[in-house]
Chains A and B, each alone.
Chain A
């Protein structure tokens, strides 16, 4: 038997992949299929799932009530999640690019330290980082105190910002949480650009701005694409940032799903929302990767 194992390369490969397949099958494929099946079900009076085939949950999501009316509540939630995810991604790109550029252009021996400094905040806990923003953004918080103090020095009167809880606070929190995920891939693709390209551009008479626009930016696009996926996917599905920094006002798809499983006790509707979220994310990322290509930058991050 050992002899056959030694000679049969196919069998060896299968044995090596077997535990992974078991895990992926048991904790990914079957759960996704089960969610899909549940999403067509209903809710019994005591909050259990009734398995049946009905499109009611999906109709409810797009605003059609069983009575034939129209209620845009869930569409508004989906729209809010999408806009917030796009806003976060754009802000993150605008902030990550200069920093990644700065690190890539730093002396080689300092680059690792500068990159390391980007990662340190990421190693503190996700939930704890959001909590820090409450302390900064609340009406009597650090931000208002500092601004109030500065305005006071200048002899003015300062009306504190009421940032927490609000949708702006959620946006700030999201940008903060996911910024490092954009810096790393952009840095990786910037760092790979061959110097001779810049020299060539300069020799051909391009100024700094033109070189950036025609050489640096196009060549760093794979990093931006990878970063966008690493940021967009978690932002569209998260519910803690909005839960903590948005109070009860900012409800996103993530919050909607979470509530169906905890407070509202309607797992079937929650499953439908979850499947909807997955399809929405897959469509956006597929379109995006088809359009711009998909590099190894995602692995580097």
Chain B
């Protein structure tokens, strides 16, 4: 579609929708500087303690619960991204390049997480792990702290499970326009399979793998539902922590946390866009 004359109504509605998209974010950031602890009405810019207007930010950084939740969130996101990027890329190669007996079934299985509500998958995993752990603990007579229980491990494997289909989808799209003769040329020139993969195939699909990994990372950071059903004591993530706060009292600390979150994401995205542009 080319740029032609546009009706002013389209422009106006586009502007209104952009406003709708950004208003909540602006509100969120402004209220991080609120002097009112209850944070219902904006009562002026806070100026308290050594940090002045950044009072709530300082308070946030002395809050161990938040720091633990941030650490858990990042640990989960990093591990699940790396594992799902590798497994998802392997699956994309298999589905795009090879014929094997269970191909159709694998393709179908990879579509399921996309077309069923997340809560169905979350409940399934919860039912599965609790049945598995109950059986395991009683069979092997595990008691007390030695028992298997929900925690970081269960959250990580579940995040990997919902990330794989998305990575596969993105990498397959990249492999779709891939010129096979490049690999054949490398093999003709005497490179073995491994060298061909390392020097030819991988560099060509790397941007796809990278965007797949980025997608997996953001999905993991943002996930609430699956985490909610697979988490245990000691593996609280930031979304779960904020949700817990929302059901009690919310101080501007949550806004400060949101502000830092938004800025961090923007910086990461900005850097990755720059890297992409340089390619």
- Chain A residues near B (Cβ < 8 Å): 6, 9-10, 12-14, 16-17, 19-21, 23-32, 34-35, 38, 95-96, 98-99, 101-108, 116-118, 120-121, 123-136, 138, 140-142, 145, 176, 179-180, 190-193, 195, 198, 208, 229, 233-234, 236-240, 244, 254, 257-258, 261, 267, 270-271, 274-275, 277-278, 281-282, 285, 296, 298-299
Contacts and interface: CB of A to CB of B under 8 A. Distances in A.
B250 A131 contact: yes
Interface in B143-162: 157-158, 160-161
Contacts of A124: 25, 28, 258, 261-262, 265
B168 interface: yes
Nearest to A33: B124
B4 A131 contact: no
A6 B192 CA distance: 10
Contacts of B112: 24, 28
A20 B110 contact: yes
B249 interface: no
Given A20-B168, A21-B109, A27 B1 contact: no
Interface stretch (B14-22, B50-58, B59-67): B14-22
B1 A95 contact: no
Interface in B168-215: 168-170, 173, 193
A27 B128 contact: yes
B106 A127 contact: no
B123 A233 contact: no
Contacts of B4: 105, 198
B246 A17 contact: no
Contact of B158 (A27, A141, A234): A27
Contacts of B265: 123-124
B121 A28 contact: yes
20 contacts: A12-B94, A14-B100, A16-B90, A16-B93, A20-B87, A106-B3, A108-B3, A120-B266, A123-B218, A123-B269, A124-B25, A125-B242, A134-B246, A136-B24, A136-B27, A145-B41, A208-B7, A270-B123, A278-B120, A298-B114
